[in-house]
Amino acid sequence: MSTLDAAVQAKVNTWLEGNYDEATKAEIKALVEKNAVTELTDSFYKDLEFGTGGLRGIMGVGSNRINRYTIGMATQGFANYLKQTYPGESIKVAIAHDSRNNATVFAQVTANVFSSNGIEVYLFDELRPTPQLSFAIRELGCKGGVMLTASHNPKEYNGYKAYWNDGGQLIAPHDKNVVAEVAKIKSVDEVHFTGNPDLIHSVGKEMDDKFIARLASESISKEAIKRQKDLKIVFSPIHGTGFTVVPPTLKAYGFENVILVEEQCTMDGNFPTVVYPNPEEHEALTMALNKAKAIDADLVMATDPDADRVGIAVKNNKGEFILLNGNQTGSLLMEYVLRAWHEAGKLNENTYVVKTIVTSHLMDSIAKSYNTSCYNVLTGFKFIGDIMTRFEGKKRFVVGGEESYGYLVGDHVRDKDAVVSAAMIAEMTAFYKDKGESLFDALLDLYIKHGYYKEKLISLTKKGKAGAEEIKEMMKGFREQTPASLGGVKVAVLKDYELREETNLATGKKSEIQLPKSDVLQFVLEDGSIISARPSGTEPKIKFYCSVKGSLPSKADFDAVSANLDAKIDAIMKDLGVA
């Protein structure tokens, strides 16, 4: 019979003997009786920490699981930090949740803890998207906020995204400071779970109206929409919050032919029609694609459960529906919006765009073609939001994006926004159709002008404590034995964002990386290809991003060039040992 590590056993005993509800204790006892050492270890070996997306994990009992106690302790720590940061001031927070199982319960626990600490709470009365929470924080003058969501993770997960007064997710030093405050709480007895109803206010339709009106103000091609108002748009919220505001926002833009995937418009945290509620996955868009083929649609869109990411499908030049990846959609949005601003004479030395370091350099090339500054930040949209907040009142944000299907047009929030993105993607489709072109045509035009940038992401899932250690060892190995070449091309530069150090491997010359520390490695090859290795901050995964580039002389050459770039990526990934 296996035995628990002493530290894990001590935590298990604390939960069994402490002020936890009987159902929780019964669940732990059942695991103990089954001698479920692995499950108990994974549930108790550490405390959940804030990563790139806040607090996120599998729901269940234990300090390393999402439950009312870990949610309560996180909220108590956040409340303590807010009160320290704003001593003697009136503090307001906003709270929203998506369709995840237990999200309503966790939202109420969060509201109760804040209010019992004397903090005024604005709680959405129904599920709403993450970007709307960011908008509400700014609109209501809140000092912070919380979104209960696990984004696109599987149904077993839930999470807690913590926001600051600008409407952006917590970043340094606030994230670590909140974690430190949570760590000071040695017992759930220190958490004030009993709420003060007088301090909890309901947020309803009035915020929808303000949010949608603000998004509608971003519309650029109103005349093209009028001519293409019957554009056939198939939309799926994949059982999530997109259903609440995406269709009315499309209507506000002027689109009159939005076809919903009815089966996926039920708000259900079990996500019954998909394996994985992620618009990055082809399987999640299967029902939408089938409907689109049946009615010969112009555009397919699907949002993840908290509607901060959107995936799309368009027709290629053979009339077949294909899914665009996040780099392609983000590049199209950047070109469309920058072109419009350029034609309107709105671009100047103070306008800028932002992307992450693992997102396609096609976006950098597009920005350069419009003489617009492009800032590269660490992975996580909170870093894009941070740039926006730092430049607020000094420079003007135009558009931003990341390869993981998150984009933002306009400065109304400090997070990725699938609602405004869906509306602008529909508008972009109408604009090009009005000219007799498709989005696919527009993408090929970008490749002909700037080069065919092709990217591939490989994610390796490594669950539990053993998986976390394996990922750590992989990164250590890459650092200690940097490959000399990948795919037959020499590695010219190693960028280690953990050390904040860039090394020219030919000369040994080192230079400082002007970004915060992050556990990311980038191999830059002599031909300009870039391969990034990054452990995920929100999932038990290590991610490998590969970006290569080729020349596309004409649209007729697309298939051949694409095949060559695929072979190049495969060779690189094989050499890395992750193919």
User: Quick one: tokens of 190?
Assistant: 């220190």
On the 0-12 / 13-18 / 19+ scale of CB atoms within 10 A, 562 is: middle
Three-state SS annotation for 332-388: HHHHHHHHHHHHCCCCCCCEEEEEECCCCCHHHHHHHHCCCEEEEECCCHHHHHHHH
- Greatest Cα pair distance, the chain, in angstroms, is 73
Backbone angles phi, psi at 26, to 5 degrees: -65, -40
- Identify the three-state secondary structure at position 420: helix
Other Cβ atoms less than 10 A from the Cβ of 295: the count is 11
Give the DSSP per-residue string, 68-82.
Answer: HHHHHHHHHHHHHHH
Of the residues 43, 151, 221, 331, which is catalytic? 151
The one-letter amino acid at 204:
G
Helical (H) or strand (E) element with 389: helix 381-391
How far apart CA 469 and CA 43 sit, in angstroms, is: 16
Cα torsion 219, 223, 226, 229: sign: negative
- Alpha-carbon distance of 50 to 578, in angstroms, equals 28
Let me know: does 113 contact 185? Beta carbons within 8 Å: no
**Gap between the Cα atoms of 544 and 559, Å rounded:** 24
Q: Is 518 a catalytic residue?
A: no
CB of 119 closer than 8 Å to CB of 91? yes
**The dihedral formed by the CA atoms of 196, 198, 199 and 202, expressed in degrees to the nearest 10:** 110
| 47 CB-near residues (< 8 Å, 6+ apart) | 63, 64, 70, 182, 183
CA distances from 9 to 46, 155, 500 (A): 12, 28, 38
Distance in angstroms (rounded) separating the CA atoms of residues 424 and 398: 13
Q: Any idea which residues carry the catalytic annotation?
A: 151
